[in-house]
Amino acid sequence: MTESLTALVIGSGGREHALALALSKDPSVVAVHVAPGNPGTAAFATNHPVAQEDGQAVAALAQEIGANLVVVGPEAPLVAGVADAVRAAGIACFGPGREAAQLEGSKAFAKQVMLDAGVPTAAARVCTTVEEAQAAFDEFGAPYVVKEDGLAAGKGVVVTDDREVALAHAAACQQFVVEEFLDGPEVSLFAICDGTTSRCFEPAQDFKRVGDGDAGPNTGGMGAYTPLPWAPADIAAQVDQVVIQPTLREMARRGTPFTGLLYAGLALTSRGIRVIEFNVRFGDPETQALLARLKTPLGAVLHAAATGNLDQVPPLEWGSGAATVVVMAAEGYPGTPAQGGQIITAPDTDQAHTIHAGTSVDADGVLRASGGRVLGIVGTGEDLAAAREAAFRQVAATDFPSGFNRTDIAQKAVAGQIQLAPYYSQEN
C-alpha cells in the first residue's frame, strides 16, 4: 500500500503544470506543492517561491512543507545537483543526481556512455577547433549536424546543408559534437527508472522547429501527440531493450545509477533505432500530451522509482484514445519573445484543457505572457484526428493576440503521411 504523499514539484513551466495536475488526481497524493509554479498551478496546488537551482533551498522547502516526494522538473536544477541535496535531507526525490544528469548536461558524456553501453546512436566526433570540425564534415558529409556541448534548451543544435552555416555555429562553440545525419522520423520515448528497473511510456512525437512544415530554427518544442499510429506496435519494448536497460546497467556500473525520467530522443532510421539525445527529465511538451492519457496514478509510481521499488509496480496503463498538445508561443520566440501580451484562456472541457508555461498575473489580475512558450493547449479524443481537432478548437477559443502557434501539429500522422523505412527486418 502506498503511503499518503505530499508532493513538491520543482519548476514553473508547462511540464511542471502537467505533472502537478496528474499528481493532484492520484488518490494517494494528499497535497501538491509547486515551486516556483505558475498561475496555472496556483489554481489547484500551493505555489512557493524558491531558487530552483539551489539544492539547500529546495531541500529546506521540502522539509518545511513536509514533502515526502520531490519531483524535479527541469534539467538545470538536476545538473546543479538539486536531487542530491533533497536525498541528502532524507526525502525521496524523483530525478537523477548531478553526475547521472550529465547524460543531458554533456553531449560528449552521453556519447561515451552510449558507446560503453552498446546503445545505437549517430557516429560522432567531439571537437574544439574549426580544423577538427572541417575534418568531421569531410568524414560524415552533408547534411551537417553540429551540437554545442552543454545545456542549450534545445537550441544549441544546427542541422544544415550549408557548410558555412555549420562552420559558423562550430566557431561560436567552445566544445561541440559533429555527428552523422540521421534520416527517419523522430520519437520521444520516456522511461521512469529507479536505477535498475524501468517502466516505459507510450511513444510521443515532438515538433522542434518553430514553423509549419518544420521551417525555421529549433525551439524547446512547439507541440506533440501520442500515440504514434505509424510506429511499430512494440517500439517501447524495443527501446527498453536496446537503449534504456543497457544505459541503466552502464550508469550503475559507473557507480552513478540513474533514478528519474530517462528520455530517449530517437530517430527510426533506415538502419534501425538510433538515439539522437538523452534528456534526464520529462520532455516538454510531450509530457502534457502523455499525462492526459496515463491511467496509472502518477504519484505512487514516481515514489516507487524514487525509493528503488519500481519492480513492485506493474507496467504503466494508458487510455485507449489519443492526445495532442499545441504550444502557443509569444511572437518572436525562439528569439526575443514579446512579453506582457494579454491572454484570455478558454474554459477547460472534457476534451481540452489549458496548461500554463510562461504566464503571470499582473497587479490588476490580468493574465499576461511572460515567457517564450506561453500556453500548451491539450486536446484528447478517441483517435488522433479527434484529439487534434479538440486541441485546435481550444486554440481558436483562446484569446492571445500577441501569440502564435504551429497549425500542423499531428497533421501528417493523421493523414498517414509518415513513412518508416523497413529497418526492422534488417537489424532486429
* Contacted by 185, from ligand GLY, ligand AMP, none: CB < 5 to 8 Å by type: none
* Beta-sheet pairing, 144-148 with 157-160: antiparallel
Cβ atoms of 23 and 32 closer than 8 Å: yes
* Contacted by 283, from ligand AMP, ligand GLY, none: CB < 5 to 8 Å by type: ligand GLY
Q: Judged by CB under 6 A, which stretch of 131-139, 176-184, 287-295, 320-328 contacts ligand AMP? A: 176-184
Q: 122 or 377, CB closer to ligand AMP?
A: 122
Cβ atoms of 209 and 158 closer than 8 Å: no
Cβ atoms of 326 and 387 closer than 8 Å: no
Residue 60 Cβ, how far from ligand GLY at the closest point, in Å? 28
Q: How far apart are the first and last CA of the chain?
A: 40
Q: Within 13 Å of residue 100, how many CA atoms lie on the same side as its CB?
A: 29
Q: 208 or 303, CB closer to ligand GLY?
A: 208
The contact set with ligand GLY (CB under 6 A) reads 154, 206, 220-221, 279, 283-284, 286
Residue 43 Cβ, how far from ligand AMP at the closest point, in Å? 32
* Contacted by 181, from ligand GLY, ligand AMP, none: CB < 5 to 8 Å by type: ligand AMP
Residue 121 Cβ, how far from ligand AMP at the closest point, in Å? 9
Using CB under 6 A as the criterion, what x/- string covers residues 260-289 for binding ligand AMP? Answer: -----x----------xx------------
Q: 265 or 297, CB closer to ligand GLY?
A: 265
Q: 29 or 329, CB closer to ligand AMP?
A: 329
Q: Return the residue of 122, 242, 289, 291 that touches ligand AMP, per CB under 6 A.
A: 122
Cβ atoms of 279 and 75 closer than 8 Å: yes
Q: 159 or 305, CB closer to ligand AMP?
A: 159
* Contacted by 122, from ligand AMP, ligand GLY, none: CB < 5 to 8 Å by type: ligand AMP
* Contacted by 218, from ligand AMP, ligand GLY, none: CB < 5 to 8 Å by type: ligand AMP
Q: 45 or 124, CB closer to ligand AMP?
A: 124
Q: Is 111 in the site for ligand AMP (CB under 6 A)?
A: no
Cα 116 from Cα 111, distance rounded (Å): 9
